[in-house]
């Protein structure tokens, strides 16, 4: 990377800062409006945002019900490229992987092979006796946990597990020592690559040796729990995690470009990712020769997928259709509604929760009317590079936005997307 120094903890910290459905003003520019557009604020926002920020391109996808999506795109896939951004452009979606893993888990709940409140030790015996840190900031001393870790806890980040983007104190050093740093953002030094687990099984086994930060079900804390669910899905389904996703979600929904590794024939559609320093773009991962062109050590269920706006919209359409995309149903409506409902344990501590709300199967759930105008029951999440996606069933709306700026906070893209979408919806 030519000497580029990356604070990976800060960069990946953008994974969690997602779906801030708050009252940001819509970005407007009459110069880009089309009288025929049903989304004039969105149509104006995208080119203006690209023009005002040192990024190569951006895209928003919008749809109502099961209708075909509309795409609003501007710019190119990488600085210096002539390849325009479009519906089939490939983006690093990072933590937008989590709702996919969450829905995969719920498919197995529907199948009856996983119980929502089942002890994960039934699948991973090494987690049979979790221990809790007595002083997380200062020591690794522990006591027995008050109860077991369940599938519900993993889905809702209430298992007490850590994350290298959140965890502090001695436990953070242990996560790093064991290579429990799921997801990659760039080509890494050989010593970092070498310490990562070789498989989801090894990841789970290493994780089981570490204490947790709070009793299961008592505290919301962003974590590697969706990655651990990838291993449970393997065991419960009897097939590799990525194979399960392909067979039960991607192939039925015709999601052709949602992948953990970008094959050579698709590299021409890959984006480059950047950070911004002193107002100038700095390359983090190139479009050609991206780290995503290499096979991952294992499929990261929390932050590992690349996808296109066209593909992810199909996933959102299925969610808005409560398990169905057109004539294709991949889960029962009852299961989909449950997955997008507030699954948090009772009386959970939300002190550290992003945008206090409910939480479903791998994504935030709006439990009271939002300031931006989203309806109760809105479900979604975002990714470290600024992407965001949600379904608002109260308004029969699905929306997703795509940029590649790390961390997400270096531009106000998400705020602009949300403001523009709801300005148009209620305008």
Domain boundary pick from 239, 254, 284: 239
Residue 184 lies in a domain: yes
Domain boundary pick from 204, 239, 274: 239
pLDDT digits (tens, 9 = 90+) for 80-125: 999 999 999 999 999 999 999 999 999 999 999 999 999 999 999 9
231 and 374 belong to one structural domain: no
160 and 179 belong to one structural domain: yes
Domain boundary pick from 174, 208, 239: 239
* Whole-number pLDDT of residue 36: 52
Using a 10 angstrom Cβ sphere, with 0-12 exposed, 13-18 middle and 19 or more buried, the burial of residue 286 is: middle
* Whole-number pLDDT of residue 417: 97
257 and 368 belong to one structural domain: yes
278 and 384 belong to one structural domain: yes
154 and 278 belong to one structural domain: no
367 and 320 belong to one structural domain: yes
235 and 252 belong to one structural domain: no
Residue 63 lies in a domain: yes
Residue 130 lies in a domain: yes
Residue 175 lies in a domain: yes
CATH code (residue 125): 1.20.58
253 and 383 belong to one structural domain: yes
pLDDT lower than 70: segments of the chain: 1-36
122 and 222 belong to one structural domain: yes
Structure tokens at 209: 């040796």
Residues 248, 227, 14, 368, CA torsion sign: positive
Closest CA relative to residue 150, chosen from 229, 238, 241: 229
Left (φ > 0), alpha (ψ -120 to 50) or beta: where does 275 sit? beta
How many structural domains comprise the chain? 2
Residue 420 lies in a domain: yes
* Whole-number pLDDT of residue 31: 29
Residue 106 lies in a domain: no
Residue 216 lies in a domain: yes
209 and 229 belong to one structural domain: yes
Residue 107 lies in a domain: no
256 and 275 belong to one structural domain: yes
- Residue 64's domain comprises 8-100+242-426
35 and 165 belong to one structural domain: no
């Amino acid at each position: 990377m030519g000497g580029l120094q990356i604070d990976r903890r800060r960069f990946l910290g953008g994974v969690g800062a997602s779906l801030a459905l708050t009252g940001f003003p819509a970005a407007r520019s009459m110069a880009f409006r089309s009288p025929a557009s049903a989304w004039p604020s969105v149509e104006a926002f995208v080119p203006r945002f690209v023009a005002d920020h040192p990024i190569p391109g951006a895209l928003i996808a919008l749809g109502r019900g099961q209708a075909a999506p509309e795409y609003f795109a501007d710019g190119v896939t990488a600085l210096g490229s002539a390849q325009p951004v479009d519906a089939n452009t490939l983006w690093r979606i990072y933590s937008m992987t989590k709702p996919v893993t969450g829905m995969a888990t719920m498919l197995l709940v529907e199948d009856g092979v996983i119980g929502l409140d089942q002890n994960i030790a039934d699948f991973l015996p090494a987690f049979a006796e979790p221990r809790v840190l007595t002083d997380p900031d200062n020591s690794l001393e522990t006591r027995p946990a008050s109860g077991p870790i369940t599938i519900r806890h993993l889905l809702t980040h209430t298992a007490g597990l850590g994350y290298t983007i959140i965890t502090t104190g001695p436990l953070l050093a242990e996560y790093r020592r064991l290579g429990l740093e799921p997801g990659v953002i760039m080509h890494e030094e050989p010593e970092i690559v070498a310490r990562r687990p070789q498989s989801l099984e090894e990841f789970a086994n290493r994780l089981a040796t570490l204490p947790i930060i709070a009793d299961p079900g008592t505290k919301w804390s962003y974590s590697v729990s969706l990655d651990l669910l990838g291993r449970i899905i393997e065991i419960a389904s009897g097939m590799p995690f990525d194979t399960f996703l392909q067979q039960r979600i991607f192939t039925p929904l015709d999601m052709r470009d949602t992948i953990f590794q970008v094959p050579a024939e698709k590299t021409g559609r890959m984006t480059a990712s950047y950070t911004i320093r002193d107002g100038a773009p700095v390359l983090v991962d190139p479009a050609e020769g991206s780290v995503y062109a290499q096979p991952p050590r294992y499929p990261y269920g929390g932050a590992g997928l690349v996808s296109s706006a066209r593909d992810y919209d199909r996933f959102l359409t299925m969610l808005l259709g409560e398990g169905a995309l057109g004539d294709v149903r991949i889960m029962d409506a009852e299961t989909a509604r449950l997955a997008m409902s507030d699954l948090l344990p009772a009386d959970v501590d939300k002190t550290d929760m992003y945008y206090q709300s409910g939480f479903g199967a791998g994504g935030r759930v709006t439990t009271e009317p939002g300031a931006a105008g989203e309806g109760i029951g809105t479900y979604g999440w975002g990714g470290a590079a600024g992407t965001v996606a949600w379904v608002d069933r109260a308004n029969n709306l699905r929306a997703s936005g795509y940029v590649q700026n790390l961390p997400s906070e270096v531009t106000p893209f998400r705020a602009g997307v949300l403001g523009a979408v709801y300005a148009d919806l209620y305008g």
